[in-house]
Amino acid sequence: MSEHHQPTTDDVAAMYDRLTDLFVQALGGSIHLGYWDPPEDRTPIATAAARLTALVGERLAAAPGDRLLDIGCGTGLPALQLSRALDATVTGITLSTRQRDLALATARQHPHPDRVDFQLADAMHLPFADASFDGAWAIESLLHMSDPGAALREAARVVRPGGRLVIADVCLRTSPAGDAEHAVDATARIFQVARFLPVAAYEPMLTGAG
């Protein structure tokens, strides 16, 4: 992918403040891809998106009562889903005031509103003490960050030793060329994506972050 303007946290916040309601209408509440297996599966996006969240939850291997962090929580739907499914307490962070407000409003309908909390915070500078969570996840948020390595180091700091971090991101499987490269670049520009990385780039970043 060719170089383009690197979005700041303000750019990302402004885009989600403006477009979150539209994304909710189009996608059903979560702001991430669906999981369809096989690809011919015609399950609607909202259900397929909840399926992806459930897969992230399985990989967390959380215990009841665990404290979990959702890094880039969107409207809060994944946090609410996994708090119920895993019987866990979840803190979600986002850059967008609109998302934080929506998430807090939805949390009031949750059977245990005290088990979910949503805050404005930057994943690259987390306002939490060392080892304050048992686990964390980031669904399609790292791709927006100018320094995803910093966010991973912060995750390693705030998750207790032995706790898990689960990541779902939009990755490149091949190096796009021609029209495909233009499409990838345009998508990045419109949606304030810092870069789409090949899957292979994640392992060294994770190792480097401890």
Which positions lie near ligand SAM, rule CB under 6 A?
9, 12, 16, 30-32, 72-74, 78, 93-96, 99, 122-124, 139-141, 144-145
Q: Is 48 helix (H, G, I), strand (E, B) or coil?
A: helix
Closer to ligand SAM at the Cβ: 30 or 89? 30
Q: Please, what is the minimum distance in Å from the beta carbon of residue 96 to ligand SAM?
A: 5
Closer to ligand SAM at the Cβ: 47 or 175? 47
Query: SS in 3 state form for 110-136?
Result: CCCHHHEEEEECECCECCCCCCCEEEE
Q: Please, what is the minimum distance in Å from the beta carbon of residue 7 to ligand SAM?
A: 9
C-alpha count within 13 angstroms, C-beta hemisphere, residue 97? 4
Closer to ligand SAM at the Cβ: 175 or 199? 199
Q: Please, what is the minimum distance in Å from the beta carbon of residue 209 to ligand SAM?
A: 15
Q: Please, what is the minimum distance in Å from the beta carbon of residue 178 to ligand SAM?
A: 26
Closer to ligand SAM at the Cβ: 68 or 93? 93
Closer to ligand SAM at the Cβ: 89 or 99? 99
Record the tokens describing residue 73, joined without a space: 């929580």
Q: Please, what is the minimum distance in Å from the beta carbon of residue 124 to ligand SAM?
A: 5
- Whole-angstrom Cα distance, residue 68 to residue 57? 10
Q: Please, what is the minimum distance in Å from the beta carbon of residue 62 to ligand SAM?
A: 17
For 2-7, which contacts have Cβ atoms below 8 Å and span 24 or more sequence positions? 2/181, 2/185, 4/185, 4/188, 4/189, 5/189, 6/146, 6/194, 7/144, 7/146, 7/192, 7/193, 7/194
- Whole-angstrom Cα distance, residue 61 to residue 77? 19
Record the tokens describing residue 70, joined without a space: 């959702």
Closer to ligand SAM at the Cβ: 162 or 190? 190
Residue (of 79, 71, 72, 76) closest to 24 by Cα position: 76
Record the tokens describing residue 135, joined without a space: 């686990």
